[in-house]
Structure 1
Amino acid sequence: MALHRDSIPQINGGVFLDYAGMETEIIFSKGMELPGFASYPLLETKDGRKMLAEYMRAFIEVGKSQGAGVIIESPTWLANRDRAAPLGYSPKDLAALNRSAIELVSKVRSEAGDLPTIICGIIGPRDDAYAPTEQMTAKEAETYHAEQVNVLAETEADIIGGYTVAYPAEAIGMVQAIKNTGMPAMISFTVETNGRLPTGETLGEAIEAVDAATDCYASYFMINCAHPDHFVDILSDEPWMQRLRGIMANASRCSHAELDEATELDDGDPVELGQQLAEIHGNHSQISILGGCCGTDMRHIDQIAKSAITN
């Protein structure tokens, strides 16, 4: 059961699962190469599309078994001009692949029956998500990301989400580009081991800056690609916290720099991760989108759902 776009801001009424750990599992567990950490090239082959669909179906089955809604993310995180150019993809190629990604997600969603589902068309950072070497202005980011956003806005995606965003100006540009299309928007920031963005801002400062510049257009904000230990101490009762609705946590406690150098997968402790996210959900009920990022798989998602729903 797909949710209408107008329902997106209301998804905090119940637990929704989210998942973005596929790439690390493919690389480390399946022993496959993903040049540039990009998963969208898998859309070009029958076997690749089958693999992507299998991940989505497994994710949906966890949602069904635990009685939680699901947000299915498109494999388009790095399907933007600058990140794709070194892999040989033209803007025309990228437009076709972004459309193909949502078509695949829509097909899998049609098999989900009555399970509440949301399709999120993902966009990602122009530069390194963990250590951007050059920061854009908000206007530059709006112009840059509009290319991918405009394509996704013409698909069956329910919402467009900017993931692993490292600094406020890029997030502002992303939201403005999405706003121009009339689609719902979401921003997910990444934080370092000190709970701050890679560029030094606090999470609260970043959320407030985006809201101030975009008239609070984003439906909600999230944290992704960080372990709960890295940010649990910054979660408070301040007003900006009501805008934080979701967490997609890393399995590993390692820093981003350490993860970049890792030669083995650190999949942490699925039970512990589930308990940590359930505790956060219990203490901050508006944080009802829970899931896994780097190092996680369906074991983690299952434990997150079990712990959060029974908490």
Structure 2
Amino acid sequence: MAMHRHAAYRHALPQMQGGLFLSDGGLETTLIFHDGLELPHFAAFVLLANEQGRAHLTGYYEKYLAIAQERGVGFVLDSATWRANPDWGTKLGYGPRELKAANQASIALLAKLRDRWETPATPCVISGAIGPRGDGYKQGFMGQAQARDYHSAQIAAFAESEADMVAAYTLGTVEEAAGIALAAQAHDMPCAISFTVETDGRLVSGRSLREAVEIVDDETSGAPLYYMINCAHPTHFEQALEAGETWLKRVHGVRANASTKSHAELDESETLDAGDPADLGRRYQALTRSFPSLRILGGCCGTDHRHVAAVCEACLPLEALSA
């Protein structure tokens, strides 16, 4: 049953059929600042190693799934594996075998959640989350072929699991993005690419979002299923978007930060800036009205289930449900 279902989703992802899909918020910042957990090197996947850690992750996801189920919208379940790639794994004492096991354990946890929470009105897509090789705020440089090879093992682990797709978050270079997209294509996995930008709306490498999307599409013959923007406040990237531009039809999701602070400021912060959930909701509402292709909505650093609830309230009022 599970194999049949995930195969169907992998080749016909429900979020591509239209309708609103939610995702979670800032996993790591919630676990650290709200739950008081220690996450070495900002790695949440270490929690998969024991029952208590898995219970923390389950409780975290269920707060968001309850919102999606109440509103009758879909949900993209991203795994807790943003740091589960070789360089970070080495720092945490995980070799290739242990990393593969952790990546697949993350998907098994999400499959159990899907079994409990999925309904016809709330399809749940399981997505293997990939992070950059470098720090999300201080990207190193890899060529496209090097990036493809580097990320291939994690994608292969997801391809052998119940994951429906993979999604690479907080990317700052087109080379790493293109390499990941090509690795996913080689493993027959649908792939989403999510870029992060600085306060000027540009990637850390200096590229504009438009350039990034168009270059990756050109380099990979349009391999990514869609693109997203994450780990930046809407005020940082709103000016980079202009209604009617063709490339924006490829951008289907936003996972914004709660804070308007820059990456450098957040990197040095010892307290959580949760921003204003209602204001964030209004900004998402304006974005979805201007850009109808934006239909996968969640949060990133500093956001929690309150922010996603506010986004849902703003973009899908309760009155719409009874209409």
Secondary structure at 2:77's aligned position in 1? strand
Given the alignment of the two structures, is residue 150 of structure 1 paired with residue 161 of structure 2, yes or no?
no
Residue 7 (structure 1) shift: 2.4
Residue 31 (structure 1) shift: 2.0
Residues 274-285 of structure 1 correspond to what in structure 2 (within 5 A)?
A: 274-285=281-292
Partner in structure 2 of residue 205 of structure 1: 211
Which among 94, 97, 110 is matched to residue 92 of structure 1?
Answer: 97
Given the alignment of the two structures, is residue 177 of structure 1 paired with residue 188 of structure 2, yes or no?
no
Gaps of 5+ in 2: none
Partner in structure 2 of residue 125 of structure 1: 132
How many Å separate the matches in 1 of 2:178 and 2:290? 28
How many Å separate the matches in 2 of 1:60 and 1:95? 26
Secondary structure at 1:248's aligned position in 2? strand
Given the alignment of the two structures, is residue 76 of structure 1 paired with residue 81 of structure 2, yes or no?
yes
TM-score (norm: length of structure 2): 0.93
How many Å separate the matches in 1 of 2:71 and 2:175? 38
Secondary structure at 1:174's aligned position in 2? helix
Partner in structure 1 of residue 108 of structure 2: 103
How many Å separate the matches in 2 of 1:192 and 1:73? 23
Provide, for residues 66-125 of structure 1, a one-character-per-residue CA deviation record: whole Å limited to 9, x for no partner. Answer: 222110110011100001111111111100101111000001110013121111101110
Provide, for residues 239-272 of structure 1, a one-character-per-residue CA deviation record: whole Å limited to 9, x for no partner. Answer: 1111000000100000000001111100001111
Partner in structure 2 of residue 261 of structure 1: 268
How many Å separate the matches in 2 of 1:11 and 1:240? 17
Gaps of 5+ in 1: none
RMSD of equivalent CA atoms:
1.4
Ranges of 4+ aligned residues in structure 1 off by more than 4 Å: none
The count of corresponding residues between Structure 1 and Structure 2 is: 310
How many Å separate the matches in 2 of 1:295 and 1:267? 5
How many Å separate the matches in 2 of 1:227 and 1:67? 27
Identity of aligned residues (%): 43
TM-score (norm: length of structure 1): 0.97
How many Å separate the matches in 2 of 1:167 and 1:129? 11
- Does the 8 A contact of 1:192 with 1:256 survive in 2? yes
Secondary structure at 1:193's aligned position in 2? coil
Letter of the structure 1 residue corresponding to residue 202 of structure 2: R
Which among 175, 191, 194 is matched to residue 188 of structure 1?
Answer: 194
Residues 159-178 of structure 1 correspond to what in structure 2 (within 5 A)?
A: 159-178=165-184
